[in-house]
Amino acid sequence: SLALPGVFVRIDETLEEAAYRTIKEEIGSCDIYLEQLFTWGDIERDPRMRIISISYMAIVSPHKLKLVKGERVSEVKLYSVNKLIDTKEKLAFDHMKMIKYAIDRIKNKVAYTKIAFEFVEEEFTLPQLQKVYEILLNKTLYKANFRNKIKELVEETDKMTEKQPHRPSKYYRLRETEYEQNKGIFKR
């Protein structure tokens, strides 16, 4: 059955180091957003033995993905999260619960963090960013209201889209506040 990537934590590494090791082994990159998600400890979650898992949520741009088949797996493949949930695809252990928990976490974080910006390139158009918000929130947003809400978070670049069938769009980037520049918050 399908399973999320994971490893056992080595005696000489931290939880975060184990998470980054998994990411490096499975997708070949560590330049990503990573956040501890939840600790899973139901008694019979793994029929082999008592296993406690600490799950992490990683967000990585598709152009950074380089899927690598490691020693522990027969195949590495990307799946649409919505299709996995809708088709009731069989996942190992409680991995479906983990996926649903991560989706809920992202939806909740959209309201009070800049996590949506992890799903766009460094420079993006406002329609691209709005589409990300709509996907994460699972609802259609009114263009004018959306732009009003995010105007303090973005700054224009001097670039425009080219060779589009519609009117060119301006490119924007995430505006970093002085606090973020000094503390490294939400840095890429």
The residues carrying an active-site annotation are 75
The structure tokens listed for 162 are 């080219």
Edge-first strand listing for the sheet containing 123-125: 123-125, 170-174, 154-160
Can you give the three-state secondary structure of 47-100, one letter per residue?
CCCCCCEEEEEEECCHHHCCCCCCCCCCCCCCCCHHHHHHHCCCECCCHHHHHH
